[in-house]
């Protein structure tokens, strides 16, 4: 009986020692893990700060090299090329109006009024002569602008206009005017039917930006090969 109590006490003491050792081991492991976690977080923080410093350095170098300025200049140039910015410069102002003379017997009355094809001929001659920007009745022409008859009116960029039609073009005034006044050219043909055509040289003409919508449903940019 007595020996049984001694054995029970010894087992209890041994179990207590084992539980104590296990608890201490668990505490040490948790402390070690926490230390490793803190060290890992510190390393990540140092690395993030280093990367941020590198990015700031690169940004500063780009700004000092004029990269930001170059990008803005390129964007400005692209907007100009697309007709999306207001521009000004020397050029000419061409005004076309329907003929006031009576149609000759047997002539088609339509020959005495300004049509879309007349405007297109003037525009084509101006472009061939180096016009850098053109507008009709304050409608800036871009690659997708339409000029077509719609009954007694002409539509430009989806807006209807009647005569007179005022065409403004920026470029060398002498070359632009000369292209229209070639012998047997656009001006001679229109004036033959009594259509009024006036050409004015101007030192500075301002053209508005294109204000319509530009969208593409079918045309997509081609991906460049790597």
Span 44-99, pLDDT tens digits: 777 777 777 888 887 777 777 766 677 778 787 788 788 889 999 999 999 999 88
What's the pLDDT score for residue 162?
93
What's the pLDDT score for residue 20?
62
CB burial of 149-188 (b: ≥16 within 10 Å; e: otherwise) equals eeeeebbbbeeebebebbbbbbbbbeebbebbeeeeebbe
User: 151-160: long-range contacts (C-beta < 8 A, 24 or more apart)?
Assistant: 154/114, 154/115, 154/116, 154/119, 157/210, 157/212, 158/212
If one counts the domains in the chain, the total is 2
Residue 56 in any domain: the answer is yes
Residue 20 in any domain: the answer is yes
**Does the reported pTM lie above 0.75?**
no
Q: Does residue 60 sit in the same domain as residue 127?
A: no
Q: Does residue 48 sit in the same domain as residue 17?
A: yes
Q: Strand 153-156: give its sheet, edge to edge.
A: 147-150, 153-156, 159-161
Residue 218 in any domain: the answer is no
What's the pLDDT score for residue 167?
98
- Please give the backbone phi and psi of residue 2, each rounded to the nearest 5 degrees, phi first: -65, -40
Q: Does residue 100 sit in the same domain as residue 182?
A: yes
Q: Does residue 94 sit in the same domain as residue 59?
A: no
CB-hemisphere CA count at 13 Å for 201? 7
Look up the domain containing 54 and give its range: 1-65
Residue 55 in any domain: the answer is yes
- 8 A C-beta contact, residue 176 and residue 123: no
What's the pLDDT score for residue 49?
78
Residue 212 in any domain: the answer is no
- Please give the backbone phi and psi of residue 113, each rounded to the nearest 5 degrees, phi first: -125, 155
Q: Does residue 61 sit in the same domain as residue 100?
A: no
**Below-50 pLDDT ranges, the chain:** 2, 6
Q: Residue 196 corresponds to which tokens in the numbers above?
A: 């009024």
């Amino acid at each position: 009986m007595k020996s049984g109590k001694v054995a029970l006490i010894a087992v209890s003491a041994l179990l207590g020692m084992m539980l104590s050792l296990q608890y201490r081991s668990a505490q040490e492991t948790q402390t070690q893990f926490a230390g490793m976690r803190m060290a890992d977080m510190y390393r990540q923080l140092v690395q993030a700060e280093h990367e941020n410093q590198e990015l700031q350095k690169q940004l500063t170098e780009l700004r000092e090299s004029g990269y930001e300025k170059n990008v803005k200049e390129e964007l400005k140039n692209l907007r100009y090329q697309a007709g999306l910015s207001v521009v000004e410069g020397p050029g000419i102002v061409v005004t076309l109006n329907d003929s006031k003379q009576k149609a000759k017997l047997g002539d088609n009355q339509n020959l005495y009024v300004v049509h879309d094809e007349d405007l297109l001929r003037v525009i084509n001659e101006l472009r061939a002569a180096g016009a850098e920007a053109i507008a009709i009745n304050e409608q800036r022409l871009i690659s997708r602008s339409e000029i077509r008859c719609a009954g007694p009116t002409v539509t430009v960029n989806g807006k209807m206009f009647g005569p007179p039609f005022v065409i403004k073009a920026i470029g060398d005034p002498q070359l632009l005017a000369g292209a229209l006044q070639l012998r047997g050219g656009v001006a001679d043909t229109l004036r033959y039917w009594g259509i009024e055509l006036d050409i004015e040289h101007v030192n500075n003409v301002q053209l508005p930006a294109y204000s319509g919508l530009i969208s593409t449903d079918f045309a997509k940019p081609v991906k460049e090969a790597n």
